[in-house]
């Protein structure tokens, strides 16, 4: 049972990393960002290239992978997302999905469609009370909690964060103050992309790496964002861990049903609290 809870925490942490970007993009720009899959997958593939082929150490590869995603995020924001401000949600949805299609195909082009393995970079276990927990997973949960506090400080104390929070509430109001909102949205988008890459990089050793890996994870993250409330950062944090728990508890009794359970929870939430977007 302890393992199950621990596994749930790990999955929740990963979901949290990826969902922040989605939640922020939706909250500020009103864009449902399917292109998130691409930043996530590209991060993982860069990591694979560096670690498996060039034999770099994992932490260095991870940092470079996250940095490599930043220009990709900027290009997507500059040429696709920025043109979609104020458009109807359907078009943003289709356009970002098209970006995801292009990206997946590009990855297949460059790296091929076959899955790559990547091993646990630490591979040691923490033993106490007769339990053995992988240190790597403990690290992931720690990073998630640290990130939560870091983001809270970022959004409450720094001027950039304050502007973004204000824009989440009332975009036009912020624009009326003479602040170039688009610039801050761009920053938010890149931040979200980098965090998605962080999630991907950390999750890669636990999952198989293939070009379509982003799509299934993204669906789970949409569920997280819907359950947690769009643009609500604390809600995203809570719902990511809650749904991670749901996944691991379901997986304990019914292994194939884990992902489906998340969608069932999402459907139940939508029944009782429909979101008007």
Q: Which residues bind another protein (CB under 8 A)?
A: 26, 32, 80, 83, 88-91, 93-95, 97-102, 104-106, 109, 212, 215, 219, 222-223, 226, 256-257, 259-260, 263-264, 266-267, 270-271, 274-277
| Residue pair 172/158 in contact by the 8 Å Cβ criterion | no
133 or 219, CB closer to another protein? Answer: 219
Structure tokens at 199: 């999630």
Least distance from another protein to the Cβ atom of residue 42, Å: 15
Which residue is listed with tokens 């470079």? 64
127 or 275, CB closer to another protein? Answer: 275
Least distance from another protein to the Cβ atom of residue 165, Å: 22
Rg of the chain in Å (alpha carbons) = 18
182 or 259, CB closer to another protein? Answer: 259
SS3 of residue 185 by DSSP: helix
SS3 of residue 231 by DSSP: coil
Least distance from another protein to the Cβ atom of residue 159, Å: 30
Least distance from another protein to the Cβ atom of residue 192, Å: 16
49 or 92, CB closer to another protein? Answer: 92
| Residue pair 196/23 in contact by the 8 Å Cβ criterion | no
67 or 102, CB closer to another protein? Answer: 102
Structure tokens at 99: 């970006």
Least distance from another protein to the Cβ atom of residue 274, Å: 4
Burial class (CB in 10 A: 0-12, 13-18, 19+), 249: middle
CA distance 224 to 169: 20
């Amino acid at each position: 049972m302890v393992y199950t809870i621990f596994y749930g925490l790990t999955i929740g942490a990963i979901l949290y990393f990826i969902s922040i970007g989605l939640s922020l993009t939706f909250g500020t720009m009103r864009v449902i960002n399917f292109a998130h899959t691409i930043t996530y997958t590209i991060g993982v593939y860069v990591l694979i290239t560096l670690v498996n082929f060039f034999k770099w150490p994992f932490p260095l590869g991870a940092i470079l992978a996250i940095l490599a995603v930043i220009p990709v995020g900027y290009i997507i924001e500059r040429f696709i997302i920025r043109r979609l401000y104020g458009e109807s949600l359907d078009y943003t949805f289709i356009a970002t999905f098209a970006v995801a299609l292009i990206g997946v195909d590009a990855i297949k082009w460059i790296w091929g469609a076959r899955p790559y393995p990547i091993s646990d970079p630490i591979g040691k276990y923490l033993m106490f009370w007769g339990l053995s927990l992988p240190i790597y997973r403990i690290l992931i949960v720690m990073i998630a909690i640290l990130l939560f506090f870091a983001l809270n400080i970022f959004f409450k104390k720094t001027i950039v964060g304050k502007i973004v929070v204000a824009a989440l509430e009332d975009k036009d109001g912020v624009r009326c103050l003479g602040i170039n909102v688009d610039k801050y949205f761009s920053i938010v988008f890149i931040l979200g992309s980098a965090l998605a890459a962080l999630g991907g990089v950390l999750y890669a050793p636990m999952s198989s790496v293939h070009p379509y890996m982003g799509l299934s994870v993204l669906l789970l993250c949409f569920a997280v964002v819907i359950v947690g409330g769009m643009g609500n950062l604390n809600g995203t944090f809570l719902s990511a861990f809650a749904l991670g728990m749901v996944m691991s508890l379901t997986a304990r009794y019914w292994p194939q049903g884990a992902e489906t359970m998340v969608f069932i929870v999402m459907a139940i939430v939508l029944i009782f609290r429909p979101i008007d977007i």
